[in-house]
Structure 1
Amino acid sequence: MARQLTAFIERVGDGYVALCPELDIASQGNTIAESKENLKKELESFLETASVDEIKFRLRD
């Protein structure tokens, strides 16, 4: 089953920071689109390498 995650994007200085609070993962970029894409890549990397226990712990399942 797919789970929907939240992304908050905030302007910080000259760029943007994107945060997924459910997994406590953040990224940045020069534009909103770039920060969102970078966050997506970070989330994919985390989900590919993290243990099931780590994912459950962060999702508080």
Structure 2
Amino acid sequence: MPSRPIKSCNKYVLSYKDSSNKTHEVGFYARDAYDCLMLAREFNSYVHENPGSVIRIQQKF
């Protein structure tokens, strides 16, 4: 992802469930929901190894 000023990005919250069925939320500044997912996969090893664990990506206003 090319470098952009944070003003051009929105805040997203990605929710996923771990192997114990516990819900976790992580926040990212991204251009869209797909970029949020790609960032989560890059910085969260569980999401990287278990992309099907993502249950929601929500933009925060």
Q: TM-score range by the shorter chain?
A: 0.3 to 0.5
More helix by share: 1
**TM norm structure 1:** 0.34
Larger RCO (CA within 8 A; separation ≥ 6): 2
**TM norm structure 2:** 0.34
Instruction: Select the structure of larger CA radius of gyration.
Output: 1
